[in-house]
A and B are shown apart, each in its own frame.
Chain A
Amino acid sequence: MSDQPQTGLEIRIRLPLDRFDLEVDFSSQTQVMGVFGSSGAGKTSLLETVAGLRRQAQGRIRLGAELWFDSSSGTFLRPEERHIGYVPQDGLLFPHRNVRRNLLSGAARARRNGGRLEDTFASVCRLLELEPLLQRPVTTLSGGERKRVALGRALCSGPRLLLMDEPLASLDLPLRRRVLPFLRRVRREFRTPTLLVSHDPAEIQALCDELIVLHEGHVIARGSPRQVLTDPKIFPLAEEAGFENLLPGVLISTQGATSQVRLGESESPLQLTAPKSTAQVGDDLMVGIPAHEIIIATDHPQGLSARNILPAKITSIEDLVGLRLVRAALGPDLPDLAIQVTSQAMSGLELRPGKPVHLIIKATGCSIYSGRGEQGQTPPSKAAG
């Protein structure tokens, strides 16, 4: 982000692990940097090294002007000196404190750093809907509640960098769809630079500005999330992890078992019919469409039961094993859709980049990602400008 010029994150490390060495070398200026990879790729080790919880690495880590770690000069800032907000996979809430005291566990640092703790605490409670939980002992919380408290605790500690380890992992699918919007609100409102590791393509697409892919300790791809995830080399990994095209939108009406979503920005004419969800009319949400649930037609089809026929333009066609991966653009402010088609089905269609097509999507093939009790548009960020 251009409004945070001094927050560039630089990570150049080599860390010996059990089966291989973790070798990561990148610097990033974006707000949310994602690290994608299957389990065992070294993602958590990377986060722990950045947090200062592992000391065995060689190399350097720098945030903005502050050098955290440099093995050549022997620099090593301890975890408490790095001002990070670590959100581990299992939450690691303090069992001897209730939700409120957990949230305030890093309050002393936030005050030292000159943050307005009362404001932060209030926005965290509002954004993550923690108000009704404040007096509860953490042992009685559900999985989704624990994730929200762990995130809230990190935010209340005045972090310069958020480190998030699989924020949605270990939650079941409906819960993942509900917690994801909370993360998006935090991203929008707090604008804290973030390093997020995940093996969930939905999480990556919804939250990250830039992505690296880690495989057996090595970075094998880098770029925008959609571009990287639909790269033919990476796509099988993403597909295995349940890849879905994620499109931002606003709920404009509900009718019976379906809901009507306007895709993209407010002037966008594109609408999509999706199954009904807990979302209210006016809510910001995301629609997930699996790459294999989309049918390509060269002419406008007639007499179909499918509810959605969207005009699009092919942008690229690439080979997968036995399949083709087609990318198609819906509009200027929407990410390209990835579509999986068998090679045989492709042969008769004479598809090529630039060709206008119609995309056919069943309403029941789509899913809606929406926070329960979503409060609609949040006020503009304090940190903006």
Chain B
Amino acid sequence: MDEGAWMALRLSLQVASLATLLVLLPGVPLAYFLARFEFRGKGLVSALVGLPLVLPPTAVGYLLLEAFSVHGILGKESLGFDPGILLTWRGAVLAAAVMSLPLVVRTARVTFEGVDPRLEMMARTLGHGRLATFASFTLPLSFKGLLAAAILGFTRAIGEFGATVTIAGNIPGRTQTLASAIFSAQQVGADREAYFLLAVSLAVGFTSILLSEHLSRKGLARASTSPSGAS
């Protein structure tokens, strides 16, 4: 197998891991807010978060390209320095993160909604502040569901193509991921390489989705209150 395929696989794993971390940081608190609180503009926030799910990935990539171009709102001119996003692996991470945000937030939100808010109230009457309650009670109660969200986000990031090629390009050894390598291999008729990349993608994707399904079922079962329940 040629070195390009391995490099693409390695880059894909790196990009997807970083993108997952990048998306969890704002995604988990955001999901919690959406699950627990009513506030003005909640519908709008929810819709904005879900947007990458319904837009063509190339459209998302194009929006990012516009924003990070030299004259864009996040470009060199307005920031005063080069953020180094365009045609780099950082751009690939950003594109993958944006594309997996809706899936991560949705899954995490459903998980948090499955945690009985009265358990959090209970924790607070026992002397725990809001943050401590979240860290010591809400997070452990929703751990498996959140892990499922992370795996789902990772899977989406591995498969990202449209937004990634638009902003980061398809440069072998630098920004060529599994997805774009398959595209290139197919374009030039390198069937053996395409099959190999295809098999790797199938293995990664299939494992992730099974694990995620398994965890989200168990996570929800665990987060609900006792069998004798509320009366």
Q: A and B: real partners?
A: yes
C-alpha gap A91/B227 in the complex (Å): 12
Contact of B126 among A90, A91, A157 (CB under 8 A): A157
- Check A139–B123 contact: CB distance below 8 A: no
Q: Does B231 contact A (CB under 8 A)?
A: yes
Contact of A92 among B118, B128, B129, B222 (CB under 8 A): B118
Closest to A106 in B: B126
Chain A stretch 75-94: residues in CB contact (< 8 A) with chain B = 78-80, 82-86, 88-94
Residues on B with C-beta less than 8 A from A106 are 126-127
Q: Does A96 contact B (CB under 8 A)?
A: yes
- Check A84–B119 contact: CB distance below 8 A: no
Chain B stretch 73-132: residues in CB contact (< 8 A) with chain A = 116, 118-119, 121-129
Nearest chain B CB to A165 CB, angstrom units = 11
C-alpha gap A157/B122 in the complex (Å): 12
Chain A stretch 305-349: residues in CB contact (< 8 A) with chain B = none
Q: Does B225 contact A (CB under 8 A)?
A: yes
| Chain A interface size range | 20 to 34
If A95-B224, A95-B226 touch, whether A80 touches B122 (CB-CB below 8 Å) is no
- Check B125–A53 contact: CB distance below 8 A: yes
Q: Does B140 contact A (CB under 8 A)?
A: yes
Q: Does B137 contact A (CB under 8 A)?
A: yes
Nearest chain A CB to B185 CB, angstrom units = 47
Nearest chain B CB to A297 CB, angstrom units = 43
Q: Does B229 contact A (CB under 8 A)?
A: yes
- Check A51–B119 contact: CB distance below 8 A: no
- Check B125–A51 contact: CB distance below 8 A: yes
Q: Does B230 contact A (CB under 8 A)?
A: yes
Nearest chain B CB to A30 CB, angstrom units = 22
Residues on A with C-beta less than 8 A from B122 are 86, 88, 92, 94
Q: Does B187 contact A (CB under 8 A)?
A: no
Residues on B with C-beta less than 8 A from A84 are 125
- Check B231–A170 contact: CB distance below 8 A: yes
- Check B124–A94 contact: CB distance below 8 A: no
- Check A83–B127 contact: CB distance below 8 A: yes
- Check B231–A92 contact: CB distance below 8 A: no
Closest to A163 in B: B125
- Check B229–A90 contact: CB distance below 8 A: yes
C-alpha gap A102/B210 in the complex (Å): 33
- Check A82–B125 contact: CB distance below 8 A: yes
- Check B222–A90 contact: CB distance below 8 A: no
Closest to A51 in B: B125
Residues on B with C-beta less than 8 A from A78 are 124, 129
Q: Pick 17 A–B contacts, CB within 8 A, sort by A.
A: A79-B124, A80-B127, A84-B125, A90-B228, A94-B119, A94-B141, A95-B222, A95-B223, A106-B127, A108-B127, A109-B126, A112-B127, A139-B226, A141-B226, A146-B226, A157-B126, A170-B228
Q: A79-B121, A95-B226 are in contact. List 20 more A-B contacts (CB 8 A).
A: A53-B121, A78-B124, A80-B126, A80-B128, A85-B125, A88-B122, A90-B225, A90-B226, A90-B228, A92-B116, A92-B122, A92-B225, A94-B137, A96-B222, A106-B126, A108-B127, A139-B226, A141-B226, A146-B226, A170-B231
A contacts, CB < 8 Å to B = 51-53, 78-80, 82-86, 88-96, 105-106, 108-109, 112, 138-139, 141, 143, 146, 153, 157, 169-170
B contacts, CB < 8 Å to A = 116, 118-119, 121-129, 137, 140-141, 222-231
